[in-house]
Amino acid sequence: GDSVTQMEGPVTLSEEAFLTINCTYTATGYPSLFWYVQYPGEGLQLLLKATKADDKGSNKGFEATYRKETTSFHLEKGSVQVSDSAVYFCALSEPGGSYIPTFGRGTSLIVHP
Amino acid sequence: KAGVTQTPRYLIKTRGQQVTLSCSPISGHRSVSWYQQTPGQGLQFLFEYFSETQRNKGNFPGRFSGRQFSNSRSEMNVSTLELGDSALYLCASSPIAGTPGSEQFFGPGTRLTVL
């Protein structure tokens, strides 16, 4: 079945550091890929998405590129802020089925001033 | 446009009791999904409703049930509560079920504590 693997957290960075959160997936078809973010005390919200190979999703300074050859969708940001502290979830949704997303376990990011 | 709302936000129950959680999706959204979030298991899919019909179901015991009304509002029920049911229960809505690349819009969740 489909699965998403994310790097274990927490990831702890200083403000203005470079961020990478790794995400790899297993799917039978050609899924759409997503990054969701969950701020403390809130539900998840979509951060960015990509629907086909080599697409780059971007939002709020975050980027991720759909790499079919390595089945990866790593999240990056050039300069993190304290306000980026949250839990980040990688997810996939496969066409031809239920479209219910499969989520990774989530990676907690803590940014210190 | 109002977001997904969930009520109540916090709930404390004791073992053996039952509980009903409510979710109002974004206006016009017909698909509603429920998830259980715990530190140990992460985000786990419970079930999805579309046009008052359960379309998909996760791997949870029959104590967990749900329904959707004609206005797309949804409820989930957990009977005979166990300590392990303590979790954040998230509801998410989508405009159209089965659309490639369609995102889910999440509510803030209901924090259930079972004592």
A2-11, A21-30, B18-27: which has the highest mean pLDDT? B18-27
| Cα–Cα distance for residue pair A50/A76, rounded to 1 Å | 14
User: What residues of chain B lie within 8 A of the CB of A98, using their CB?
Assistant: 48, 55-56, 98
- B33-36 long-range Cβ contacts below 8 angstroms, 24+ apart: B33/A100, B33/B91, B33/B92, B33/B93, B33/B94, B33/B104, B34/B66, B34/B74, B34/B76, B34/B89, B34/B90, B34/B91, B34/B92, B35/B89, B35/B90, B35/B91, B35/B92, B36/B60, B36/B87, B36/B88, B36/B89, B36/B90
User: How do strand A107-112 and strand A11-14 relate by DSSP bridges?
Assistant: parallel
DSSP, res A67: B
Considering only residues A63 and B96, tell me which one the structure prediction assigns the higher pLDDT.
Answer: A63
Q: Stretch B65-79: mean pLDDT, rounded?
A: 96
pLDDT digits (tens, 9 = 90+) for B13-49: 999 999 999 999 999 898 999 999 998 888 999 999 9
pLDDT digits (tens, 9 = 90+) for A38-67: 999 899 999 999 999 999 999 999 999 999
Q: Stretch B47-56: mean pLDDT, rounded?
A: 90
pLDDT digits (tens, 9 = 90+) for A10-21: 999 999 999 999
Min Cα–Cα distance to chain B from A52, Å: 9
Instruction: Yes or no: say if A49 and A35 are a contact pair by the CB < 8 Å rule.
Output: yes
pLDDT computed for residue A28 by the predictor: 85
Instruction: Yes or no: say if B10 and B3 are a contact pair by the CB < 8 Å rule.
Output: no
Is residue B115's pLDDT more than 90? yes
Is residue B74's pLDDT more than 60? yes
Quickly state the pLDDT bin for A100 (edges 50, 70, 90).
confident
Q: Would you call B97 an interface residue with chain A, using a CB distance cutoff of 8 Å?
A: yes
| Cα–Cα distance for residue pair A62/B102, rounded to 1 Å | 19
Residue type, A67: R
Q: Would you call B56 an interface residue with chain A, using a CB distance cutoff of 8 Å?
A: yes
Instruction: Yes or no: say if A28 and A42 are a contact pair by the CB < 8 Å rule.
Output: no
pLDDT computed for residue A95 by the predictor: 74
DSSP, res B85: G
DSSP, res B28: T
Is residue B97's pLDDT more than 70? no
Q: Do B108 and A41 touch (CB under 8 A)?
A: yes
Mean pLDDT of chain A: 93
